[in-house]
Amino acid sequence: MMTVPEQFLLLTLDTETGEFLKLPEAYNSAAFAGAALMELALAGRIDSDLDRVWVVDPAVTGDAALDPVLSAMSAAGAPSNVERFVEKLVPMGAQVREAALNGLVARGVLEQSERKSLFRKPQTSFALQDRASLAGLKEALGAVLLGTAMPEPRDVCIMTLAKTCDMMDRVIPPEDSRKALDRLEAFSKTELIGQTVRRYLYLYERDIARS
């Protein structure tokens, strides 16, 4: 099974061009740091309540996208307040994304290639080899957002990240967005880490507007 960082990364892939959606840097970093936290929570490695987050099992997972985050959380002096934790880990988001990408390439889910031209620098593109993985993910999310299916905890994580990064159109048709957002609102309240990531980005945008 793919991890939350890997699933979210696939949602950002344009399968026609082989390029990834260019999210604002702050959103990219916060989303992937949050995705790693979500995966660690799903695996029972960390736990949280409304105010705090803490490590339950600091043992190495063997996943290059998750272990640096778990190590940072386990370090002496790490904050326990969930918002401060997210803020501390946001700079690791790019590292999480890169490790998730490398993992998908290594397992053959994505195939990396270099495109060259006379007038442009070489560009890296990624062809989706396991199309069923992305199709299955979108089908599962669509069944929840537009139907009556109850979501798995992993589904709620991915949907919360998609909403936070304004990527719901990657999952459902634009004309169904209102219904989907209403359904998501009912579920996302249970996803504390996703709520914290959204609040972090709200505060970031507010500070930028004031500067």
Question: What's the CA angle centered on 180, arms 175 and 183, to 5 degrees?
Answer: 155
Number of domains observed in the structure of the chain: 1
Tell me the CATH number at 197. 1.10.3630.10
Which pLDDT does position 205 carry in this prediction? Answer: 62
User: What does the DSSP 8-state code read for residue 90?
Assistant: G
Residue 97: CB atoms within 10 Å: 25
Name the residue range of residue 100's domain. Answer: 4-210
pLDDT in tens, 131-167: 898 999 999 888 888 888 888 888 888 988 988 888 8
- Please give the Cα distance from 66 to 112 (Å, whole number): 22
pLDDT in tens, 112-128: 998 776 666 778 899 99
**What's the CA dihedral at 41, 193, 152, 155 to 10 degrees?**
-120
Q: What is the mean pLDDT of the chain?
A: 86
Answer yes or no: pTM beyond 0.85: yes
